[in-house]
Amino acid sequence: VKRPSGSVARDRRLTPIEKEQLLSESLRTGSQQLYLAILIALNTAMRQGEILKLKWIDIDFDRNQINVRDTKNGSNRVIVLSSVLRGALVNTQQTYETLFTITASGLQQSFRKLTTRLQIRNLRFHDLRHEAISSLFEKGLTVPEVQLISGHRTLDQLMRYSHASIEQIRQKVG
């Protein structure tokens, strides 16, 4: 029996223009849930399932944090709210116990339609997690800090999600 080959690691990064297009177009089309899911993914490195399970009681505005429960690896974690995400959440109407009523397949379909309309190629919702982790490193967070946010248990797992930007490196090397 031949062992299946390992999955090919993705290293898709968003350009600043693509990031702006995703956020502005999802807002423009009135898809508040898609907009909020994209914003959360880009600002927290949360997995799609973790995002869709969020309840309003998980958002602690007093402590400026999100309490992520029932994660893929079984450990709860805390993520600090960015000012942009905090502002969006404060301005979101709390109609239901959960932040989202959209299903995983509904989110995937909406995201795919959005990227098709914007002609953004080869981008999956999960790539936003890669983008967020890479951005956290670019902001100067340490490996333990990013690992705490992302919920990765090992450095190998975390580094699979980190993709340095050649432009950022050029600016630093200068």
Given CA atoms 32, 37, 40, 43 in this order, what sign does their dihedral have? negative
Per the annotation, the verdict on 96 as an active-site residue is no
* Annotated catalytic residue, options 13, 35, 77, 161: 161
**Exposed/middle/buried for 93, CB within 10 Å: 0-12, 13-18, 19+?**
exposed
First vs last C-alpha separation in the chain:
51
Q: How many CB atoms lie within 10 A of CB 104?
A: 13
Per the annotation, the verdict on 53 as an active-site residue is no
* Annotated catalytic residue, options 72, 113, 117, 139: 72
Per the annotation, the verdict on 63 as an active-site residue is no
* Annotated catalytic residue, options 13, 47, 77, 163: 47
Given CA atoms 14, 16, 17, 20 in this order, what sign does their dihedral have? positive
Helices (H), the chain: 16-28, 32-44, 48-52, 83-90, 104-117, 127-138, 143-150, 155-159, 166-173
* Annotated catalytic residue, options 19, 69, 86, 126: 126
Per the annotation, the verdict on 129 as an active-site residue is yes
Q: How many CB atoms lie within 10 A of CB 173?
A: 6
Vertex 33: Cα angle to 75 and 87 (nearest 5): 80
* Residues noted as catalytic: 47, 72, 126, 129, 152, 161
